[in-house]
Structure 1
Amino acid sequence: MGVGQSQRLVPDGLWSLVDPLLPSFSARPQGGGTTPVDERAVFTAVVYVLTSGCAWRHLPESFGVSPATAHR
């Protein structure tokens, strides 16, 4: 996804408000699990879906986040 679109959907001011509210990543004690993804990219994808009205399954690949990850 282009930096311009990301900045338009989630400007730095909005991200500075949202970032402290997100839970921090912690590895599972038993190991395994999924690798962490860029939180800002996921949040930007969620904002895109909510503001555009597109279905989760139609989330463009340019966000770098799978539709299932953004939905969860």
Structure 2
Amino acid sequence: MANQVTDLHKAWETTENPELSSEVQSLKEKLGEHSKQLELSAEKLNQLQMENAALRDKNKAPNTASNKKRRFNTRV
């Protein structure tokens, strides 16, 4: 049912108002471009989060060793 309404609406747009149809097409293209940019940004964010986690883990090991050494020195 929803598809039929959408199809009728599209048919009305193209026959009754070609300027509106052109504007709708332009907006759809912009939406497509923005969707692609958003997808690329999400991928980049995911990559940066993974790199951040790896660096955090790499940094955690020296800090843990330093903390253990510091605790040992304070007890002695």
Q: Give the number of the structure whose alpha-carbon radius of gyration is greater.
A: 2
TM above 0.5, yes or no, is no
TM-score when scaled to structure 2? 0.24
Using structure 1 for the length normalisation, give the TM-score.
Answer: 0.25
Please state which structure has a larger fraction of its residues in helix: 2
